[in-house]
Amino acid sequence: MDIIGERKIVFQPAGGEHAREIFLRVGRPQQRPDDGWEVQIDILDPEKPWKLPPVWGTDGLGAVILGIFALSKYVEWYTMRGRVTLPEHGETVFPEWALLLEASTPPAPAQGATPTMDSEAEG
C-alpha cells in the first residue's frame, strides 16, 4: 500500500493492561474498473488484528474522506475501551475527531500580526 497519511496513537486499555502503540494509515486512492475510486485503510495494532475492506467513493478525494471517517469509527471503538493519546503531546484523544483537527488546524497568526488580503498585498 502506498501510504499518504499515517498517525500513531497510544492505547491504554481500561483494565490496567499495558499501553501499546497503534498506527492508523490511509493509502493512496486507486481508480477502480467501474469508474469509482477506492482507498485502503489499515490499523496496525500488535494485539488486535484488523482486516479492513477498502473504502470507495466517486472520486479520489471522496474515497480518502470516507476512509478517514471509517478510521474515526475504529478510534471510537478504542476510546470506548480505554484511553487514547497522541504520543507527541500526551493529549487525550476524545472525541476521535481530535486526530483530524490536530493535523489540520493551521497555525495561529503571531501576536499583533494582522493578516492581509491578497488584494491588499498586491496594491
Cα–Cα dist 28/53, whole Å: 14
Residue 121's φ and ψ, nearest 5 degrees, are: -70, -30
C-alpha cell at 21: 502503540
Give the pLDDT confidence score for residue 87 in this predicted structure. Answer: 80
Q: What is the pLDDT of residues 54-75, one digit of tens each?
A: 999 999 999 999 998 888 888 8
83 pLDDT band (50/70/90 cuts)?
Answer: confident
Considering the chain, what is the average pLDDT of its residues? 79
Query: Any residues with CB less than 8 A from the CB of 40 and at least 6 apart, and which?
Result: 1, 26, 27, 52, 54, 55, 67
C-alpha cell at 65: 474522506
Give the pLDDT confidence score for residue 88 in this predicted structure. Answer: 75
Would the pTM of this model clear 0.85, i.e. be above it?
no
Domains of the chain, residue spans: 3-88
